[in-house]
């Protein structure tokens, strides 16, 4: 690491290859998202341009929702128009990033084993909800949490940690940002979420009118899924505001 660069280390060369491939895909197909440039690649590391900025805060939600809507609309127009949510998305070299259902079905089953779901009935309820949301135009998921945005003094927004991509429905990643902002800063005003969704829909629809139809009920379904999927991280990574209302606490938690 130097004053101008930041080096991130990975467990295997395959993880390095995937991280660089995903970075390139976003730069090509999700052009509204600005990323730090890759300046070097090693066997188990990637070096990036160093960007100084702060993490996202609640007052940034509407602006970031618009950014995500534009990014998802651009990716759909460029590469995901015919991509089904149920099939991994192939790159030109034959590699792929994950589909929507498979990785999350496996993760929900792990949450039951870890005690973050109370019983098999709760697991079946969440799996059914996941299946219900697995339709509609295809976007991508890159884990939008507050730390994965850097906002500079000039107001420029950089997106970081784009190592792992999967397919996802429109607004699924917006719901992740909402959940993690709540976990980081506490409950947000009801109007803030509605304003963010409206901004997202307007931005997505600017690429194709069919992309601007995500309703509040669907967003709330995504929020419920993220509340379970992010449960192991409560109390870590700045998520200090406990569980979302109605979310089951794991066995043995305070």
pLDDT digits (tens, 9 = 90+) for 185-232: 998 887 999 999 999 999 999 999 999 999 999 999 999 999 999 999
CB atoms within 10 A of CB 130: 21
Instruction: Answer yes or no: is 246 within a domain.
Output: no
- Binned at pLDDT 50, 70 and 90, residue 3 comes out as low
pLDDT over 70, % of the chain? 94
CA distance 22 to 46: 12
Instruction: Answer yes or no: is 12 within a domain.
Output: no
**Which among 178, 203, 163 has a CA at the least distance from the CA of 32?**
203
Res 188: pLDDT:
83
Q: Is the pLDDT of residue 246 over 80?
A: no
Instruction: Answer yes or no: is 250 within a domain.
Output: no
Instruction: Answer yes or no: is 194 within a domain.
Output: yes
Instruction: Answer yes or no: is 219 within a domain.
Output: yes
Instruction: Answer yes or no: is 205 within a domain.
Output: yes
Q: Are the CB atoms for 68 and 159 separated by under 8 Å?
A: no
Structural domains of the chain, count:
1
Crossing angle of the two packed helices 216-229 and 190-205, in degrees rounded to 10: 110
pTM of the model: 0.92
pLDDT, tens digit, for every residue of 80-116? Answer: 999 999 999 988 777 888 999 999 999 999 999 999 9
Res 234: pLDDT:
85
Instruction: Answer yes or no: is 139 within a domain.
Output: yes
pLDDT, tens digit, for every residue of 125-175? Answer: 999 999 999 999 999 999 999 999 999 999 999 999 999 999 999 999 999
Instruction: Count the alpha carbons within 13 Å of 228 in the hemisphere toward its beta carbon.
Output: 29
**What is the pLDDT of the chain when averaged over all its residues?**
91
Res 221: pLDDT:
95
Return the CATH number at 221.
3.90.1200.10
Mean pLDDT of 50-61: 96
Domain ranges, residue 141: 52-233
Question: CA torsion, points 56, 183, 32, 76, in degrees to nearest 10?
Answer: 180
Instruction: Answer yes or no: is 25 within a domain.
Output: no
């Amino acid at each position: 690491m130097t004053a101008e660069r930041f080096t991130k280390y990975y467990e295997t060369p395959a993880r390095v290859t995937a991280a660089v491939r995903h970075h390139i895909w976003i730069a090509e197909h999700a052009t509204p998202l600005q990323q730090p440039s890759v300046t070097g690649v090693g066997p188990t590391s990637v070096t990036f341009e160093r960007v100084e900025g702060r993490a996202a805060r609640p007052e940034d939600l509407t602006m970031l929702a618009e950014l995500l809507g534009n990014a998802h609309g651009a990716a759909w127009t460029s590469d995901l128009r015919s991509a089904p949510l149920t099939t991994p998305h192939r790159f030109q070299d034959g590699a792929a990033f994950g589909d929507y259902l498979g990785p999350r079905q496996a993760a929900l089953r792990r949450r039951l084993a870890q005690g973050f779901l109370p019983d098999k009935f709760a697991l079946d309820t969440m799996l059914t909800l996941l299946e219900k949301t697995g339709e509609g135009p295809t976007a991508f998921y890159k884990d939008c949490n507050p730390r994965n945005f850097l906002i500079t003094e000039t107001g420029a927004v950089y997106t970081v940690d784009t190592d792992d991509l999967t397919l996802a429905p429109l607004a699924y990643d917006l719901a992740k940002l909402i959940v993690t902002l709540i976990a980081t800063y506490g409950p947000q005003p009801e109007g803030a979420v509605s304003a963010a969704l409206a901004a997202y829909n307007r931005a997505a629809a600017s690429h194709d009118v069919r992309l601007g139809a995500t309703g509040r009920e669907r967003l709330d379904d995504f929020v419920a899924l993220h509340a379970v999927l992010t449960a192991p991280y409560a109390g870590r990574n700045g998520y200090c505001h406990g569980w979302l209302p109605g979310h089951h606490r794991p066995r043995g938690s305070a």
